[in-house]
Amino acid sequence: PLVSMNAFLPQAKKEGFAVGQFNMNNLEFVQAIAAAAAEERSPFIFGASEGAIRYMGLDNVVALAKVAAKESGVPVALHLDHGSSFDVVMKCIRAGFSSVMFDGSHYPFEENIRLTKKVVEAAHAVGVSVEAELGTIGGVEDDLEVAEEDAHLANPEEAIRFWEETRVDALAIAVGTAHGMYKGEPKIRYDIIEKVASSIEAPIVLHGGSGVPDESIKKAIAAGVGKINVNTENQVAMVKVVRELLDQNPNMIDPRKYLGPAREAMKEVVKGKMRLFGSSGRA
Ligand code: G3H
Ligand code: ZN
């Protein structure tokens, strides 16, 4: 069965590792991620964005995640990624999600607290874990697009107060990463991560995990990051194989012939992340 993030995040924070959130985009993503986790004996989080839910269908998302959880034999959370409203959150919980993110980062601070509290109250009543967001993460992801100049870092004092008032299970704060691939290296503010993580019970979530150098990831985990979101790198891994195979084989028409090897390539990327995050062998 699908589990809440509280099945593994408290341990991650205590023992100094991070659990990966890998977004699902289609069946092959689900299979690649689950196979990687089974081989690595790693807990993991399926991220489903509102865009992915529209694309795959809500019931398909839940059904695929349940099968993958059963087959992989490791703790799996199905998590709404960047949920935009209380309504969307409730729809996902009713459909079978075990975890949700409410992203109220674009609201004024007090309004974000008020809306997040409402989500926490409803979700915790049925054992569903909650992630919230503070500050603005730059870059593009599905429906979200934030220009570089509009991205701003989270204020640590605000983040601590936000957690004390909302008691979310994981807190995403903007610390310098961006959604999508980077043009340059991200300048991650480890000091902000450290300050907030040491003052609250919940782990910090690092969004925009793609394209961040391994060393930076390790430092972020050491500073208090317990959940890392990765999507773009998996998309890149998959499409690279598809493009090569279709380029080399103009007569290839069977999707299994290019999606199968693409799925295999993506599995290796996910396995590498699980090792880097230190979640391998924790299930
Ligand atoms: O919420 C999802 C992540 O933050 C994904 O970011 O596509 O840059 O890996 P990414
Ligand atoms: Zn994100």
Instruction: Give the integer Cα–Cα distance in Å for 83 and 119.
Output: 10
Break the chain down into helix, strand, coil percent, rounded to 5.
50, 20, 30
> Would the CB of 280 count as within 6 Å of ligand 1?
no
> Would the CB of 50 count as within 6 Å of ligand 1?
no
Residues within 5 A (CB) of ion ligand 2: 207
* In the predicted structure, residue 147 carries a pLDDT above the cut 80: no
Query: Is residue 247 annotated as a catalytic residue, yes or no?
Result: no
Q: Each residue of 51-100: pLDDT tens digit? A: 999 999 999 999 999 999 999 999 999 999 999 999 999 999 999 999 99
Residue list, annotated binding site = 82, 103, 133, 179-180, 207-210, 229-232
**Helix (H) or strand (E) segment spanning residue 178:** strand 178-179
Supply the pLDDT for residue 16: 98
**Token representation of residue 40:** 């690595």
Cα(238) to ligand 1 centroid in Å equals: 15
> Would the CB of 229 count as within 6 Å of ligand 1?
yes
Supply the pLDDT for residue 186: 85
Atom of ligand 1 nearest to the CA of 230: 9
ipTM score of the complex? 0.98
Instruction: Confirm if 140 and 100 have CB atoms less than 8 A apart.
Output: no
**Token representation of residue 52:** 């992915």
* In the predicted structure, residue 150 carries a pLDDT above the cut 80: no
* In the predicted structure, residue 149 carries a pLDDT above the cut 70: no
**Token representation of residue 86:** 């209380």
* In the predicted structure, residue 129 carries a pLDDT above the cut 90: yes
- What mean pLDDT do residues 124-135 have? 97
Q: Each residue of 183-220: pLDDT tens digit? A: 678 889 999 999 999 999 999 999 999 999 999 999 99
Q: Which of 207, 266, 273 to mutate to test the pocket of ligand 1 (most atoms within 8 A of CB)?
A: 207
Amino acid at the residue 195:
K
Q: Which top CATH class is 5-232? A: alpha beta
CA-based nearest residue to 18, from 212, 176, 268:
212
User: Hey, is 22 helix, strand or coil?
Assistant: strand
Alpha-helical regions (H) of 105-155? 109-125
- What mean pLDDT do residues 129-136 have? 95
Atom of ligand 1 nearest to the CA of 49: 1
* In the predicted structure, residue 151 carries a pLDDT above the cut 90: no
> Would the CB of 227 count as within 6 Å of ligand 1?
no
Instruction: Confirm if 80 and 101 have CB atoms less than 8 A apart.
Output: yes
CA-based nearest residue to 16, from 210, 198, 195, 171:
198
Domain boundaries, the chain: 5-232
Instruction: Give the integer Cα–Cα distance in Å for 229 and 215.
Output: 16
DSSP 4-46: -GGGTHHHHHHHT--EEEEE--SHHHHHHHHHHHHHHT--EEE
9-13, 132-136, 222-226, 255-259: range with lowest mean pLDDT: 132-136
The residue whose two tokens read 């989080």 is 45
Cα(142) to ligand 1 centroid in Å equals: 10
Atom of ligand 1 nearest to the CA of 181: 8
> Would the CB of 207 count as within 6 Å of ligand 1?
yes
Instruction: Give the integer Cα–Cα distance in Å for 230 and 101.
Output: 15
Instruction: Give the integer Cα–Cα distance in Å for 223 and 195.
Output: 8
Q: What is the DSSP letter of 96?
A: T
